[in-house]
A and B are shown apart, each in its own frame.
Chain A
Amino acid sequence: MSALLQRRPAKTSESPAATGPRRRVGKAPTPGKQRRENLAAYGFLTPWFIGLVCITAGPLLASLYFSFTDYNLIGDYGWVGLDNYERMFTDERLHTSLKVTFIYVFVSVPLQLAMALALAMILDRGVRGLPLYRSVYYLPSLLGGSVAIAILWRQVFGAEGLINQVLAFFGIQGEGWVSHPDYALGTLIVLNVWTFGAPMVIFLAGLRQIPAMYYEAAEVDGAGPVRRFWHITVPMLTPIIFFNMVLQFINAFQTFTQAFIVSSGTGGPSDSTLFYTLYLYQRGFGDFEMGYASAMAWLLLMIIGGFTAVNFLASKYWVFYGD
């Protein structure tokens, strides 16, 4: 440590140009102190930064490179140009996986947000024991993406699962919900809707921000609850709705665990739960086509990026940021 401290001034004198043009605003601390503080800050940042470089940036760039090769995980590989990207146009399972993913995203996210908002509004009424309810409803969000819940889901919706036992009680012969192509995706959508806790908590915070006087004034003017909802709550909440929407859309596009566990990694039955990420995984790790899988990953990135961009552009027309 003392060695480090001694070396530093010498280094500064060697490269005055580096610090020369730096302008300090206000009363600057002495260069030595400043430097020490910076170094400490960098020290604390280092673990995160190593993580960023090694775990995120490195693999990200590697996958971009691999997407132009026929990398197969084990052996040699070579440059194939745009072959992987061209192949996507004729890959029918890729198209199926896009369809499945889009249905999932566009059905489950609006439902989930509606659910979250509805519950947030109920809780906002000042229910006794609010913190408890808040935690209880938030809990699925913490668990929803986990393997354990996916296994539970498979059991609950299985041919002899809880749902069918309840149905049998009413004399209804239920299907094997997760093993029938008409319903399997539906059960996963229900699972996603069930994890409405995170947006709910954010909605709840947003609702708390709306001044009560708006409602009072509207009430005095004779606005009923429905009108108050559409003309006060919704406009005031649009930034929050927008934020939740962007976040949940991005999340939903990347759904993997639930589909992987519920379908035992097959995306079945009949590819009805073949999410994009699951297909990517099958290609990469099942079929050893990591080059193609990398290209798929970049397509997904472009889709999510493009979609989020559209979302932001569209937000100009409906999101109300007050004044």
Chain B
Amino acid sequence: MRAHPGNGRPQARRPHRLLSVAAGVGAVVMAATACGGSGEDGVVELRFSWWGADDRHETTQQVIEMFEAENPDIQITAEYTDWSGYWDRLATSTAAGDAPDIMTQEERYLREYGDRGALLNLDEYGEQLDLSNIDPLVAESGDLDGQTYGVATGVNAYAILADTQAFEEAGVEMPDDDSWTWDDYVEIATQISEATDGEIVGTQSMAYNESGFQIFARQRGENLYNEDGSLGFSQETMEEWYSITEELLENGAQPSAAESVEIEAGGPDQSVLSTNQGAMAHFWTNQLGGISASSGGDIELLRYPGETTNERTGMYFKPAMFYSVSADTEHPEEAARFVDFLLNSEEAAELILADRGLPANVEVREQILGSLPDADARSAEFLAEIEDTIVDGNPPPPIGAGQVVDIIARVTDDMAFGEIGPDQAAERFMSEVEEATGGA
């Protein structure tokens, strides 16, 4: 159907008509689809997002089913990914105005979303959401300017996980974590690698997570961030911390730079403990259960080195995660009811156990202590033991703190591959974090 062969002018006019027709049709189509969407059969549909590994996905699905059985007017759709994909996805869907109604949040990102009005002020839904039993240690951790934008799921501490079998195989004695120093840590890790000829590596790199450095800085009376969000540590402190990693690398006491890249990319499931290739690793206490399961061995929790030999103790309790509700949700009351169930239902807690930290609801925590599997019972015990040694909590991280996850990985990679020394690593970390958090 060539209507106008070789004639320029009529063809040149065509786009106008084409445009107007298309624009007309387009407008109709868009108008028709714009305000559809919500199922009107009396059942409210909500979406709940979280990150994690397989075992968390399974138990959370069960919790959702239980909730739906008790609340036939609400249906929950699960949206789960691993940790690294989670934030990309949440950012994109939030930008598109399509954020999940209930989302799992984390300390470093809460402000990013809360301060920009993407989260619902949960104080307004006190009728649906009971927060009276939350552990005072973390009760206000999800507050921004005095208003609740996130509710702590549970309590956590960053600690060293040690595989007793690996220690036995290497013929190295478990350290006494009430007195060990950072030098002891390096020495023990080195001994293990040497005794097993590298079959079992002493420790997984500690330099890919700033939480460990935070403890290190606190032991010296400093901190990662100050109250006002600026950096709270000196360059010397960080240099010293990076030097430990350098020494471990030189001694072969931790995986090589390239190996570390692969291990870190794999998350807890690929940690040296999970794959039985190492004796120690740095993780959150709620990860003990998962890692014990994949390792199959007997894994103990140790206090950080230097807790008793420095200026003060550095370990701290952290809200493991937060439950938050999107500011865009069409059903805030139903969403609050679901959060209430996650927090306060004993049946839900019996399933979740300590996977999202030791439950923040102290009553529920008491009730499930008995049913905690061995590993989680030990982390509960561990938390109870160190509680008295903890000096204080941490100020909320500044906006942009989420970027630190990537920054520290980059800087650590560069140092591990020998491109920069601990001094430059410290310098770069500080300047990049300052840029990301806009503080100075």
Q: In the docked arrangement, what's the CA distance between A319 and B262, Å?
A: 46
**B26 contacts which of A25, A54, A287 (Cβ < 8 Å)?**
A54
Whether, in the assembled complex, B32 has its beta carbon less than 8 Å from a beta carbon of chain A, the answer is no
Contact code string A256-272 (vs B, CB < 8 Å = 1, else 0): 00000001111011110
Q: In the docked arrangement, what's the CA distance between A64 and B4, Å?
A: 37
Q: Given A37-B1, A286-B91, A286-B403, are A42 and B262 also a contact pair (CB < 8 Å)? A: no
Which chain B residues border A136 with CB–CB below 8 Å? Answer: none
Contact code string B256-275 (vs A, CB < 8 Å = 1, else 0): 01111110010000000000
* Shortest Cβ gap from A122 to chain B (Å): 37
Which chain A residues border B95 with CB–CB below 8 Å? Answer: 73-74, 290
Q: Given A176-B261, A179-B261, A286-B88, are A74 and B409 also a contact pair (CB < 8 Å)? A: no
Which chain B residues border A74 with CB–CB below 8 Å? Answer: 91, 94-95, 112-113, 116-118
- Report 20 cross-chain contacts, Cβ distance below 8 Å, ordered by A residue: A23-B9, A25-B5, A73-B94, A74-B91, A74-B95, A74-B112, A175-B258, A176-B259, A178-B262, A180-B261, A181-B419, A264-B84, A265-B88, A266-B265, A269-B261, A269-B413, A270-B414, A285-B91, A285-B92, A286-B88
Number of A-B contacts (CB under 8 A): 126
* Contact call B7/A266, Cβ cutoff below 8 A: no
A-side residues, CB < 8 A to B, are: 22-26, 29, 34, 37-39, 41-42, 45-46, 49-50, 53-54, 72-76, 158-159, 175-176, 178-181, 263-266, 268-271, 281-282, 285-288, 290
* Shortest Cβ gap from A24 to chain B (Å): 7
Nearest chain A residue, comparing its CB with the CB of B94:
A74
* Shortest Cβ gap from B53 to chain A (Å): 15
Whether, in the assembled complex, B87 has its beta carbon less than 8 Å from a beta carbon of chain A, the answer is yes
Q: How many residues on chain B are close to A (CB under 8 Å)?
A: 50
Which chain B residues border A269 with CB–CB below 8 Å? Answer: 257-258, 261, 413, 417
Whether, in the assembled complex, B29 has its beta carbon less than 8 Å from a beta carbon of chain A, the answer is yes
The 5 closest A-B CB pairs, nearest first, are A75-B116, A179-B261, A176-B258, A73-B95, A49-B22
* Contact call B22/A53, Cβ cutoff below 8 A: yes
Main secondary structure of the interface of B (DSSP, over half): helix
* Shortest Cβ gap from B234 to chain A (Å): 24
* Contact call A268/B22, Cβ cutoff below 8 A: no
* CB contact list, B388-439 vs A, under 8 A: 400, 402-403, 406, 409-410, 413-414, 417, 419, 436
Which chain B residues border A175 with CB–CB below 8 Å? Answer: 258
* Contact call A179/B262, Cβ cutoff below 8 A: yes
Which chain B residues border A178 with CB–CB below 8 Å? Answer: 262
Q: In the docked arrangement, what's the CA distance between A268 and B414, Å?
A: 10
* Contact call A288/B410, Cβ cutoff below 8 A: no
Q: Given A25-B7, A159-B258, are A46 and B21 also a contact pair (CB < 8 Å)? A: yes
* Contact call A72/B413, Cβ cutoff below 8 A: no
Q: In the docked arrangement, what's the CA distance between A45 and B23, Å?
A: 12
Q: In the docked arrangement, what's the CA distance between A238 and B402, Å?
A: 51
Q: In the docked arrangement, what's the CA distance between A237 and B393, Å?
A: 71
* Shortest Cβ gap from A181 to chain B (Å): 6
* Contact call A287/B436, Cβ cutoff below 8 A: yes
* Shortest Cβ gap from A56 to chain B (Å): 13
Which chain B residues border A53 with CB–CB below 8 Å? Answer: 22-23, 26
